[in-house]
């Protein structure tokens, strides 16, 4: 549970919201290192003229400043979409707490820069192969086996780290029979918090 059910009007609601924000941040930090965490997988949407691009990715790293990172192949549609419009909307869902978290973020691509090289050095060999296919992701093939052709040496030439710089968070939690909803927005000196009508 992220949001406090206690709707006592005398309660210091700013503190309740600040605590909820801290809990969300802690869970995101934990999720990046825990394959079993409900926030380990995130659904990332990016704008595209044909309709939003949408896909699951693995949260690889998160920071106190609410920057989230995932890995991808530089040849994928999402990278093209981010190049065109450097934004993303991210959806997390925690079924146990019936909690939904929607993050709006500025998206930044890291390709063969220091950050990407640091992450590449931590990817183990079998996982590196994912970024080494000779044919680019999305190519139509006659047989699924044709998607696993690799060069002799797999380097970081297709490896890209996407950094999502959180601008706002919308947290919606079902507390039967009502929901609770809060919004957090990045401000110059921290985060602004609001309760929202669910
Ligand atoms: C459980 C799961 C985890 C995935 N993790 C990633 C990931 O971390 N990075 C990634 O690029 N694709 C990942 N994928 C594949 C994407 O969902 C997507 O199909 C692929 O990246 C192509 O996306 P695009 O064409 O929209 O760019 C994952 C798929 C599943 C089912």
Q: What is the pLDDT along the chain (198 residues), one digit of tens a residue?
A: 788 766 666 567 888 899 999 999 999 999 999 999 999 999 999 999 999 999 999 999 999 999 999 999 999 999 999 999 999 999 999 999 999 999 999 999 999 999 999 999 999 988 999 999 999 999 999 998 888 888 889 999 999 999 999 999 999 999 888 899 999 999 999 999 999 999
Q: State whether the beta carbon of 78 lies less than 6 angstroms from ligand 1.
A: yes
Strands (E), 36-177: 41-46, 53-58, 61-62, 67-73, 87-94, 99-110, 159-175
Burial label for 39, CB within 10 Å (0-12, 13-18, 19+), is buried
Return the CA Rg of the chain: 19
The whole-model pTM stands at 0.96
Cα separation, 194 vs 174, whole angstroms: 17
For residue 1, being part of any structural domain is answered with no
Structure tokens, 79: 């990278």
For residue 145, being part of any structural domain is answered with no
For residue 19, being part of any structural domain is answered with yes
Alpha helices, DSSP H only, in the chain?
Answer: 13-31, 77-84, 114-120, 125-128
Residue with tokens 């925690």: 94
Name the residue of 54, 55, 72, 120 to mutate for ligand 1: max ligand atoms within 8 A of Cβ.
Answer: 55
For residue 7, being part of any structural domain is answered with no
Instruction: Name the residue range of residue 113's domain.
Output: 13-137+150-196
For residue 126, being part of any structural domain is answered with yes
Cα separation, 46 vs 82, whole angstroms: 7
For residue 82, being part of any structural domain is answered with yes
Name the residue of 56, 59, 82 to mutate for ligand 1: max ligand atoms within 8 A of Cβ.
Answer: 56
For residue 144, being part of any structural domain is answered with no
Structural domains of the chain, count: 1
Q: What is the CATH number of the domain that holds 166?
A: 2.30.110.10
Cα separation, 89 vs 55, whole angstroms: 11
Cα separation, 19 vs 108, whole angstroms: 29
For residue 171, being part of any structural domain is answered with yes
Residue nearest to atom 14 of ligand 1 (CA): 57
């Amino acid at each position: 549970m992220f949001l406090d059910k206690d709707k006592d009007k005398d309660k210091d609601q700013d503190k309740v919201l600040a605590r909820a924000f801290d809990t969300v941040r802690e869970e995101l930090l934990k999720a990046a290192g825990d394959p079993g965490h409900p926030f380990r997988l995130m659904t990332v949407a990016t704008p595209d003229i044909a309709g939003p691009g949408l896909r699951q990715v693995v949260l690889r790293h998160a920071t106190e400043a609410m920057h989230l990172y995932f890995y991808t192949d530089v040849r994928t549609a999402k990278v093209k979409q981010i190049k065109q419009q450097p934004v993303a909307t991210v959806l997390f869902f925690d079924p146990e707490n019936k909690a939904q978290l929607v993050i709006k973020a500025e998206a930044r691509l890291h390709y063969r820069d220091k950050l990407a090289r640091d992450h590449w050095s931590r990817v183990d060999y079998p996982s590196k192969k994912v970024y080494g296919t000779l044919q680019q992701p999305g190519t139509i093939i006659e047989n699924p086996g044709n998607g696993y052709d690799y060069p002799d040496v797999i380097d970081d030439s297709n490896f890209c780290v996407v950094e999502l710089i959180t601008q706002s968070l919308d947290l919606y939690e079902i507390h039967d029979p009502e929901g609770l909803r809060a919004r957090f927005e990045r401000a110059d000196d921290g985060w602004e918090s609001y309760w929202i009508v669910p």
